[in-house]
Amino acid sequence: MEIPWVVTARQDTGLNNGKIGIWLFLASEVMLFGALFATYILLRVGAPTWPLGSSILNVPMATFNTVVLISSSVTMVMAWASVMRRRFAAYRGYMGATVVLGFVFLVVKYFEYSAKFHHELFPRTNTFLAIYFTLTGLHMLHVIGGMAVNAWFWGPGARLYHENPEWFANRVENSGLFWHFVDLVWIFLFPVLYLL
Amino acid sequence: MHDTGTAHSHGPDHGHAGAHGHDAGHGGHHEPGFLRTWVFSVDHKVIGMQYAVTGLLFLMFGFCLMMLMRWQLAYPGEPVAWLGAILGEARMPGGVMLPEFYNELGAMHGTIMVFLGVVPLAVGGFGNFVVPLQIGAPDMAFPRINMMSYQAYLLGGVTMLASFFVPGGAAQSGWTSYSPLAALAGSGQTWWLIGMVLLITSSLLGAINFIVTIVQLRTKGLTFFRFPFFVWAQFVTSFLLLLAFPPLEAAGVLQLMDRLAGTSFFMPSGLVVSGQALDISGGGNPLLWQHLFWFLAHPEVYVLILPALGIVAEIIANNTRKPLFGYRIMVWSLIFLGFTSFIVWAHHMFMTGMGTVMSAFFQTTTMIISIPSVIILTSLMLSLWGGSIRFNTPMLFALAFLPMFGIGGLTGLPLGLNITDIPLHDTYYVIAHFHYVVAPGTIFALFAGIYHWFPKATGRAMNETLGKIHFWPSFIFMNVVFMPMFIVGLAGVSRRLYDGGLTYDFARPVLHWNAVSSWGAWMLGLAQVPFIINFFWSIRHGRKVDRNPWQATTLEWAAPSPPPHGNFETEPVVHRGPYEYSVPGAKTDYLPQCDAAEAR
């Protein structure tokens, strides 16, 4: 038994199965983060006072992290393009860089978190910190998830390249779509939490 | 998926290829072991059956919780020694139910029936088994994700069950888990939240799989308006699950934070409990939980109903030997229903003081959403007109669904109007209303579906006599259970009282109806015995049937019974719409969708 349209696109939809699947998944993710951003708005408009993000959080560190994540999105695209051009060595390099940049993001976040804990700033301290830790924490889980998938396709998952490069390119593309989404969430989180 | 034997090599279709029928086509390959076949299967039919059986078990368990509650409501405080001995001193000391245990039963009855019983059976069970067959697909688009979806569901169910044994017992804050009550409840609530996150994950994986399968894997010639109505119902349902569940996941994460990290997302400033100010930062909003919860839970109501409507539509078309009345308008109503179900949620919150503008908006949308529901129900009723109806067991359940769902729907209108909701809110009237929708409504449709598709799943028909012995008492006692609740509710008795209203003077004239409901429930429990016997007996000893025992038109009946792994011997091609029954001039009174011979 063979499932149709795993690799090639179905003619009338113009898409393969995985592509639709990942977009639907992203739609559900939009609803997840949408609900959390709505929560943020509701709590903030209901609060008598709200601290300016930059007075509590470390803006330079977050700016650096923004650059790191956007760079990782660029290397992700390059990784996919390399597979499309069937340049496996270049793919390995770019995909490796994507994973490493994700790791750099996490390390910076670790220092940010521990600095907050060091100053006795916890989720229970106030509503701003509660939403800050929840949103960035959930985002970090997504970063870790994306890194795990990318690391798999960098390492053992790359075997598929030698058997069916077209299928492998599809997988890298889908994983890239998720990675860009994670990047995009951060691009919303950064101004909302740190600058506004 | 690897190519493990093709459908083409499947043996002759003599109806039943043994209990492991779907292995029969593996030819020279190794037979997969028991674990691969029945536990970690990637075959949509096996996963569908896993879902269905697990869902049925949870339905029975959830029903048992309710039968316990009904004792306390009918005879408050009267001891039952043998139950006390079984359930222990912590729950029923001396056989008398503790209020805390009653609350556990209430919260878990709702949770289990909705999230672990009806939805898994309707979507996971019937959806998985029937949809790929009806669209002529070899399997779901992502078989392994399908398996993971079931495993996540099972794990969520086990988590929920395990929560009965943690210190303080299971969740006690109602199936709605309103904060701050839930945020301050015992550790069972944390287990409830973790269980919900697993169930949500399962639903998301399933929903994505269904949509991709329906869009991508439909066979040649099967355009969207040639879909059986059931496929449409599952398609819209999947979108509801996909987009409505994530906000509850967000809410669940926030409540977990409130409980475990000490945040105050749902805790207002200056919260005082039992005369003591709580040591919290405050600044949260209890209404936020309700908004996030009902943003899921109202579409969830349609997740409970739409697959049921789909099942009933299939069975009515088949057993009236007529096309569905107004198929196209039914489909458009379904789509409209799906969209509007996202903008009615706050009609559950009229009494929260959220403001008249909000109330007016949600009252209006609620009235609007009743229109497509009525169109679908009316079309189903009109489909009966002039048909030569076969009164077999699936048809009886499907027919009973129509008035029962009708009562449930019509009694909902006073609840959807802001003014009339004030006296009715949180009374037994609400309980009666939504149970008419879901219990004699959806669950009857699910029974109908089991009797209808059992021959496809096993190659054997269920016993008709036992089926009728199951149907008639169930039909009568369902009404004995829920009709009195309208009376009790209109008298103003609140739905969450541990003693059923004993301490209120105004409740006195209607209290005797509590015992009527309770006896109805216990009799309803007894009435399920013939079904259980029928189900297990028919698996081995039922009458053998060929691939199309109901002389139906849709594609699942073109596959062998039971279908092998991969479903069809050759890829079916669709030549016509889903319900071409009694076409003038045709040789038979049904023209299967894949029948090219008598093309119009």
Q: What is the DSSP string of A39-68?
A: HHHHHHHH-S----HHHHS-HHHHHHHHHH
pLDDT, mean of residues B112-137:
97
Q: Is residue A172 over pLDDT 70?
A: yes
Contacts of B1 in chain A (CB under 8 A): 1-3, 6
Q: Which residue has the higher pLDDT, B25 or B178?
A: B178
Contacts of A138 in chain B (CB under 8 A): 253
Determine, yes or no, domain membership for A89.
yes
B594, B575 in Cβ contact below 8 A? yes
User: The tokens 């898994």 sit on which residue?
Assistant: B120
Tokens coding B181: 């009550």
Peptide bond into B138 cis (omega under 30): no
pLDDT, mean of residues A87-104:
98
- For A24, the closest of B208, B244, B254 (CB atoms) is B208
When divided into structural domains, chain B yields a total of 1
A138, A36 in Cβ contact below 8 A? yes
> pLDDT tens for residues B332-359?
999 999 999 999 999 999 999 888 999 9
Instruction: Supply the DSSP symbol for B514.
Output: H
Residue in chain B lying closest to A8 (CA): B216
Distance from the A146 Cα atom to the nearest Cα atom in chain B, whole angstroms? 17
Which residues, including other chains, have CB under 8 Å from residue B118's CB and lie 6 or more apart? B55, B59, B304, B438, B442, B443, B446
Which residues, including other chains, have CB under 8 Å from residue A155's CB and lie 6 or more apart? none
- For A35, the closest of B6, B216, B292 (CB atoms) is B292
Q: Is the dihedral of CA B199, B120, B295, B168 positive or negative?
A: negative
Indicate yes or no: CB of B249 within 8 angstroms of CB of A32: yes
Residue in chain B lying closest to A15 (CA): B216
Contacts of B263 in chain A (CB under 8 A): 123-124, 127, 130, 134
With CA atoms as reference, report the closest residue to B572 among B585, B586, B554: B554
Contacts of B211 in chain A (CB under 8 A): 20, 24
pLDDT at position B30: 62
pLDDT, mean of residues B62-80:
96
pLDDT at position B160: 97
Residue A186 identity (one-letter amino acid): W
**Which domain CATH number covers A132?**
1.20.120.80
Indicate yes or no: CB of A130 within 8 angstroms of CB of B263: yes
- For A2, the closest of B3, B249, B264 (CB atoms) is B3
Contacts of A16 in chain B (CB under 8 A): 216
Which residues, including other chains, have CB under 8 Å from residue B384's CB and lie 6 or more apart? B316, B320, B399
Contacts of A13 in chain B (CB under 8 A): 215-216
SS3 content of chain A, % helix, strand, coil (to 5): 80, 0, 20
User: The tokens 């060929």 sit on which residue?
Assistant: B546
Q: What 3-state DSSP class applies to B446?
A: helix
With CA atoms as reference, report the closest residue to B544 among B14, B25, B133: B14
Determine, yes or no, domain membership for B252.
yes
Q: Is residue B6 over pLDDT 80?
A: no
Contacts of A21 in chain B (CB under 8 A): 141-142, 208-209, 212
Residues linked to residue B272 through DSSP beta bridges, in sequence order: B277
pLDDT at position A52: 94
Phi and psi at residue B581, in whole multiples of 5°? -100, 150
Q: Is residue B599 over pLDDT 70?
A: no
Indicate yes or no: CB of A3 within 8 angstroms of CB of B250: no
Please tell me the distance from the alpha carbon of residue B424 to that of residue B415, in angstroms, as a whole number.
7
Please tell me the distance from the alpha carbon of residue B173 to that of residue B181, in angstroms, as a whole number.
7
With CA atoms as reference, report the closest residue to B589 among B555, B560, B552, B558: B552
> pLDDT tens for residues B383-394?
999 999 999 999
> pLDDT tens for residues B92-101?
999 999 999 9
pLDDT at position B1: 38
Indicate yes or no: CB of B264 within 8 angstroms of CB of A127: yes
pLDDT, mean of residues B462-483:
98
Determine, yes or no, domain membership for A51.
no
Determine, yes or no, domain membership for A5.
no
Contacts of B244 in chain A (CB under 8 A): 31
Indicate yes or no: CB of A125 within 8 angstroms of CB of B5: no
Q: Is residue B132 over pLDDT 60?
A: yes
Please tell me the distance from the alpha carbon of residue B243 to that of residue B156, in angstroms, as a whole number.
20
Banded pLDDT at B483 (limits 50, 70, 90):
very high
Enclosing H/E stretch for A155: none
Choosing among B44, B212, B290, which should be mutated to test the A contact, i.e. which has the most A CBs within 10 A? B212
Residue in chain A lying closest to B203 (CA): A28
pLDDT, mean of residues B32-54:
91
Q: What 3-state DSSP class applies to B222?
A: coil
Percent share of chain B, pLDDT over 70? 94
Cα atoms in the 13 Å half-sphere on the side-chain side of B582: 12
The domain in which residue B203 lies consists of 34-264+284-558
Distance from the B266 Cα atom to the nearest Cα atom in chain A, whole angstroms? 10
pLDDT at position B337: 97
Contacts of A1 in chain B (CB under 8 A): 1, 3-7, 138-139, 565-566
Indicate yes or no: CB of A124 within 8 angstroms of CB of B264: yes
Q: What 3-state DSSP class applies to A1?
A: coil
Determine, yes or no, domain membership for B589.
no
Count of CB contacts below 8 A, A vs B? 132
CA distances from B277 to A124, B274, B291 (A): 16, 8, 26
Beta strands B543-544 and B460-461: pairing type? antiparallel
Determine, yes or no, domain membership for A133.
yes
Q: What is the DSSP string of A61-104?
A: HHHHHHHHHHHHHHHHHHHHHHHHTT-HHHHHHHHHHHHHHHHH
Q: Is residue B20 over pLDDT 70?
A: no
Residue in chain B lying closest to A130 (CA): B263
B517, B484 in Cβ contact below 8 A? yes
- The 10 Å CB-count burial string (b at 16+, else e) for B78-117 is eebeeebeebeeebbeeebbbeebbbbbbbbbbbbbbbbb
pLDDT at position B353: 87
Please tell me the distance from the alpha carbon of residue B244 to that of residue A30, in angstroms, as a whole number.
11
Indicate yes or no: CB of B138 within 8 angstroms of CB of A3: yes
CA A26 from centre of chain: 11
End-to-end Cα spacing for chain B:
38
Distance from the A20 Cα atom to the nearest Cα atom in chain B, whole angstroms? 6
Choosing among A19, A23, A28, which should be mutated to test the B contact, i.e. which has the most B CBs within 10 A? A28
pLDDT at position B29: 55
Q: Is residue B571 over pLDDT 70?
A: yes
| A54: exposed, middle or buried (Cβ count in 10 Å: 0-12, 13-18, 19+) | middle
Q: What is the ipTM of this complex?
A: 0.96
B377, B402 in Cβ contact below 8 A? yes
Q: What 3-state DSSP class applies to B541?
A: helix
The domain in which residue A188 lies consists of 17-45+59-195
Please tell me the distance from the alpha carbon of residue A135 to that of residue A118, in angstroms, as a whole number.
20
- For A124, the closest of B1, B6, B262 (CB atoms) is B262
Contacts of A29 in chain B (CB under 8 A): 246
When divided into structural domains, chain A yields a total of 1
Instruction: Supply the DSSP symbol for B112.
Output: I
> pLDDT tens for residues A17-40?
999 999 999 999 999 999 999 999
Q: What 3-state DSSP class applies to B276?
A: strand
- The 10 Å CB-count burial string (b at 16+, else e) for B480-514 is bbbbbbbbbbbbbbbbebbbbbeeeeebeebbebb
pLDDT at position B157: 97
- For A1, the closest of B1, B242, B254 (CB atoms) is B1
Please tell me the distance from the alpha carbon of residue A118 to that of residue A23, in angstroms, as a whole number.
40
Q: Is residue B52 over pLDDT 50?
A: yes
Indicate yes or no: CB of A5 within 8 angstroms of CB of B216: yes
Instruction: Supply the DSSP symbol for A11.
Output: T
Banded pLDDT at B598 (limits 50, 70, 90):
low
Determine, yes or no, domain membership for A143.
yes
Please tell me the distance from the alpha carbon of residue B370 to that of residue B377, in angstroms, as a whole number.
11
Find the chain A residues whose C-beta atoms sit closer than 8 A to any C-beta of B: 1-6, 10, 13, 15-17, 20-21, 24-25, 27-29, 31-36, 39, 42-43, 46-47, 122-127, 130-131, 133-134, 138
CA distances from B559 to A81, A120, B35, B121, B214 (A): 43, 66, 25, 22, 18
Residues linked to residue B427 through DSSP beta bridges, in sequence order: B494
Banded pLDDT at B543 (limits 50, 70, 90):
very high
Average pLDDT, chain B: 92
Indicate yes or no: CB of B257 within 8 angstroms of CB of A134: yes
Please tell me the distance from the alpha carbon of residue B180 to that of residue B162, in angstroms, as a whole number.
24
> The whole model's pTM is what?
0.94
Banded pLDDT at B266 (limits 50, 70, 90):
very high
Which residues, including other chains, have CB under 8 Å from residue B484's CB and lie 6 or more apart? B513, B514, B516, B517, B520
Banded pLDDT at B2 (limits 50, 70, 90):
very low
A171, A146 in Cβ contact below 8 A? no
> pLDDT tens for residues B214-259?
999 999 999 999 999 999 999 999 999 999 999 999 999 999 999 9
Determine, yes or no, domain membership for A95.
yes
Indicate yes or no: CB of A15 within 8 angstroms of CB of B216: yes
Q: How many CB atoms lie within 10 A of CB A3?
A: 18
Beta strands B460-461 and B276-277: pairing type? unpaired
> pLDDT tens for residues A134-161?
999 999 999 999 999 999 999 999 999 9
Please tell me the distance from the alpha carbon of residue A154 to that of residue A149, in angstroms, as a whole number.
9
Banded pLDDT at B175 (limits 50, 70, 90):
very high
pLDDT, mean of residues A176-191:
98
B95, B84 in Cβ contact below 8 A? yes
Residue in chain B lying closest to A125 (CA): B281
Residue in chain B lying closest to A17 (CA): B212
**Which domain CATH number covers B84?**
1.20.210.10
Determine, yes or no, domain membership for B584.
no
Tokens coding A60: 């330079």
